[in-house]
Amino acid sequence: MRKVFSRLVPAALILLIVSCPSPDRKGTIPPDVVQPGSIGGSLVIRVPLTNMQADKGSSNDVASYDVSGSGPGNASFQQLGITGSSVTINSLAPGDWGVTVNVNNSKGLQVASATVQVTVVEGETAEKDVAVSPFVGDGTLDVYVQWPAKNAISQLRAALTLQNGALPDITLPAVVITNNVSSVHAAVPFPAGYYTLSVSYLYDGFTWGGAEAVHISSGGTTKLVFTPFDAVKMSIDPDMSNSSMIAFSPLKSVLGLGQTMTVTATPTQMISGKYLSYQWYLNGLPQPEITSTFTIDGKTLGSGNYRLDVVVSANGVLSSKPVLFTIAGGSN
For residues 44-70, give the mean pLDDT.
Answer: 67
Q: What is the CATH number of the domain that holds 122?
A: 2.60.40.1120
Task: Report pLDDT for 230.
Answer: 58
Q: What is the pLDDT of residue 175?
A: 79
Looking at the structure, do residues 81 and 201 belong to the same domain, yes or no? no
pLDDT at 294: 93
Contact 43, 88 (CB under 8 A): yes
How many folded domains does the chain comprise? 2
Torsion angle of the four alpha carbons 188, 192, 195, 199, in this order, in degrees rounded to the nearest 10: 10
DSSP character at residue 170: B
Same domain for 130 and 241, yes or no, is: no
Decide the pairing of beta strands 125-129 and 41-46: parallel
Instruction: Work out the pLDDT band at 127, boundaries 50, 70, 90.
Output: very high
| Close Cβ partners of 232 (under 8 Å, ≥ 6 residues apart) | 5, 199, 208, 209, 210, 226, 284, 307
User: What's the mean pLDDT when you consider all of the chain?
Assistant: 74
Overall size of the chain counted in residues: 332
- Residues 263, 152 share a domain: yes
Range of the domain at 298: 4-22+138-328
Query: Which residue would you say has higher pLDDT here, 191 or 245?
Result: 191
Q: What are φ and ψ of residue 37, in 5° steps?
A: 90, -5
- Residue 194: closest CA among 80, 297, 27, 318: 318
Identify the CATH number of the domain in which residue 184 sits.
Answer: 2.60.40.10
**Is 290 found in the same domain as 198?**
yes
Residues 187 and 317 in one domain: yes
Residues 182 and 321 in one domain: yes
One domain for residues 104 and 204? no
Asked which of 100, 134, 168 is the last residue of a domain, the reply is 134
From 134, 158, 189, give the residue that closes a domain.
134
Q: What percent of the chain has pLDDT over 70?
A: 67
Q: Is 207 found in the same domain as 128?
A: no
Single out the residue in 134, 158, 183 at which a domain terminates.
Answer: 134
What is the rounded average pLDDT of the residues 137-161?
Answer: 71
Residues 118 and 208 in one domain: no
Of 242, 235, 293, 286, the C-alpha closest to 264 is 293
Q: Do residue 161 and residue 39 come from a single domain? A: no
Pair (250, 274) in one structural domain: yes
d(CA 176, CA 281): 30
Asked if residue 65 and residue 200 are part of one domain, the reply reads: no
Q: What pLDDT is stored for residue 199 in this prediction? A: 80
